[in-house]
Amino acid sequence: MGLETVSTNRAHGGTQGVYKHASSETGTEMEFSVFVPDHEEGAKLPVVFYLSGLTCSQANVTEKGEFRRACAELGLIFVAPDTSPRGEGVPDDAEGAYDFGLGAGFYVNATEAPFDRHYKMRDYIERELPDLIGAEFPADMDRVSIMGHSMGGHGALTIALRNPERYKAVSAFAPIVSPLNCPWGEKALTGYLGADRGAWREYDACALIEDGARLPEILVDQGTADNFLEGQLKPELLAEACAAADQSLTLRMQEGYDHSYFFISSFMADHLEWHAVRL
């Protein structure tokens, strides 16, 4: 599939790599990182996909997520893709804002010009990247889970809810639970999908649950000192949607934690242990 190795490093009894390839979905070169623990020859390991938030690339969690020790101990492959297509000719926010365009793909398939050409992050995450991981790494693609942070938490929840047969577990750190009901989501979904809010529902975790999507269980950690808690994240909306639908949700409000990787890294091992049990 034309996979190119950018770098590899030994870490925690495994190999941390960064790779790139020409994506047929986005029409651009895409980078991602993969941590593979040492394992017996011929073994296939379960896979956890991690989706990052606004302004991030795969580098943020790779450098600051503190996941490798837990993945090595639990025997998990950890895959972190980029958050948007990048490169010459890829459109960005006209005013250079951080919450739309490059670094802010929102894990949707854009339908509005000029973003509809390259912004196909839904298909990239749901189809192309898993196929690549299964072909190029010692991955058991029958044992796959997904997690994410903020915009990536939105991505993880919505992707799992749309594909419950594929993902054995889903969790999120400080997710955008309802893009239909926050400024980040309204800006992004209007720009990528147009003004018809009905078309947004498949990209909103609360709306998907209201419309009948179900998972065995959902785990969410949210810091109480998160600057975006009330205006953008609104975890109470997810709690209400899950309660009304009898959807199992563990929502843990973590006292004093903010939106940063200090928060994510504090609970990363706990999430990975939770995933490993279900994988």
Residue among 99, 171, 226, 271 flagged as catalytic:
226
Task: Give the whole-angstrom CA distance, residue 278 versus residue 276.
Answer: 5
List Cα–Cα distances, 110 to 6, 29, 121, 166, 177, in angstroms.
28, 18, 8, 23, 19
- Hey, which residues does 99 pair with through a beta bridge? none
Residue among 118, 149, 259, 275 flagged as catalytic:
259
Enumerate residues 6+ apart whose C-beta is below 8 A from 6.
17, 18, 19, 20, 31
Residue among 150, 154, 178, 204 flagged as catalytic:
150
- Asked about 211 being catalytic, the answer comes back as no
- Asked about 92 being catalytic, the answer comes back as no
Q: Which two tokens stand for residue 186?
A: 């309204």
- Collapse the DSSP code of 270 into the 3-class scheme (helix H, G, I; strand E, B; otherwise coil) and give the result: helix
List Cα–Cα distances, 87 to 31, 38, 109, 156, 189, in angstroms.
11, 34, 18, 25, 22
Task: Give the whole-angstrom CA distance, residue 27 versus residue 15.
Answer: 28
- Asked about 270 being catalytic, the answer comes back as no
CA atoms within 13 A on the CB side of 151: 28
Residues 80 and 50 sit within 8 Å (Cβ to Cβ): yes
Residues 209 and 241 sit within 8 Å (Cβ to Cβ): yes
List Cα–Cα distances, 63 to 11, 57, 66, 99, 104, in angstroms.
12, 11, 8, 22, 19
Catalytic center residues: 150, 226, 259
